[in-house]
Structure 1
Amino acid sequence: MASLNVGNLGEYLREQRRTAQLSLRQLADAAGVSNPYLSQIERGLRKPSADILQQLAKALRISAETLYVQAGILDEREREELETRAVILADPSINERQKQVLLQIYDSFRKENASAADGTADGAAPAPGGGVRAEGRTEDAAAAEPPAGATEPVAGADGDGGRAAGGRAGDGAATPPSL
């Protein structure tokens, strides 16, 4: 665990409390801590636990991760990762299985990028022509052809639904789409 940066934390808490237009007593009551204890935290004299920081964050209606970063418990990248995960898990428009799949993909990308940054890429390497080589084959989304007998366009890599210059995917036509 990193050492706590209680001076900056105290200043930050005081600023957040004032922004929320709460008195020291009101915030202490809402967070379930004593006035003297909160005052000591704000003055940089006490090191609050992660649980106390979470209670304070809830009372201030800010993310606990933000306070953890201010206290030096969590670094900025970890906070961003936690917030990304929280947003995915809170999305009501996708089901639990989809959420888990998204989190697995997210973890995979983070691991891949961390490996690439360390110079130890594990598996995905650039292939000739700009595709990605995976398991001995080259996948290049721009060169994807629709399956034989397909009546609907195949989605392209650029999210245009497979349409290129107004035509159907793969036919090379530059005619306007029919309405």
Structure 2
Amino acid sequence: MASLNVGSLGEFLREQRRQAQLSLRQLADAAGVSNPYLSQIERGLRKPSAEILQQLAKALRISAETLYVQAGILDERDRGEVETRAVILADPTITEGQKQALLQIYESFRKENGLGADPDAGHGEPSPSTN
């Protein structure tokens, strides 16, 4: 697992919160965390879990993968693949079967290009690596 840089994660979260025009309390309420805990995350004093990052991302309406990369949970090089999967899985205009077919085609192209397959391919939401 990449090293955690909580200072830059906190700064990034604060900036995202400000861009969303949310107070600390509003974001804490929307994410289901305490106001003091969120403040500590923003100041770089606490290391949030992947679950908390996911809740914060949902409240901020950004991808959880973006926060995972900021927190060092997910490598930057993996981000494109994870985001591609997330976009396909989140598309409300196609059926679940179509989503799975697209993911299978995507994987076959990745294999053909020597990038290998993701062991979690086609199994719902991408999850952060725990190496």
TM-score, normalization: structure 2?
A: 0.78
The CA deviation at 1:17 is 0.8
Higher relative contact order (CA 8 A, sep 6+): 2
**Bigger fraction of residues in strand:** 1
- C-alpha RMSD of the superposition: 1.9
Give the residue type in structure 2 aligned to 1:64: A
Give the residue type in structure 1 aligned to 2:25: R
Q: What are the superposed Cα offsets for residues 122-147 of structure 1, whole Å, 9 maximum, x if unpaired?
A: xxxxxxxxxxxxxxxxxxxxxxxxxx
Could you say which residue in structure 2 is the equivalent of 1:162? none
Could you say which residue in structure 2 is the equivalent of 1:73? 73
Q: Measure the CA separation in 1 of the matches of 2:19 and 2:48.
A: 21
Give the residue type in structure 1 aligned to 2:74: L
The CA deviation at 1:115 is 5.2
Question: Structure 1 unaligned runs (5+)?
Answer: 117-179
Give the residue type in structure 1 aligned to 2:28: A
Question: Structure 2 unaligned runs (5+)?
Answer: 117-131
Could you say which residue in structure 2 is the equivalent of 1:107? 107
Equivalent residue runs for 1:26-37 within 5 Å: 26-37=26-37
Q: How many equivalent residue pairs?
A: 116
Q: What are the superposed Cα offsets for residues 141-175 of structure 1, whole Å, 9 maximum, x if unpaired?
A: xxxxxxxxxxxxxxxxxxxxxxxxxxxxxxxxxxx
Q: Report which of the two structures shows the higher radius of gyration computed on alpha carbons.
A: 1
Contact map agreement 2:6 2:47 (CA 8 A) in 1: yes
Task: State the identity as a percent.
Answer: 87
Q: Measure the CA separation in 2 of the matches of 1:81 and 1:115.
A: 10
- Structure 1 pair 113/18, CA: closer, same or farther in 2 (3 Å)? same
| In the alignment, structure 1 residue 43 sits paired with structure 2 residue 37 | no
Q: Measure the CA separation in 2 of the matches of 1:17 and 1:115.
A: 36
Could you say which residue in structure 2 is the equivalent of 1:14? 14
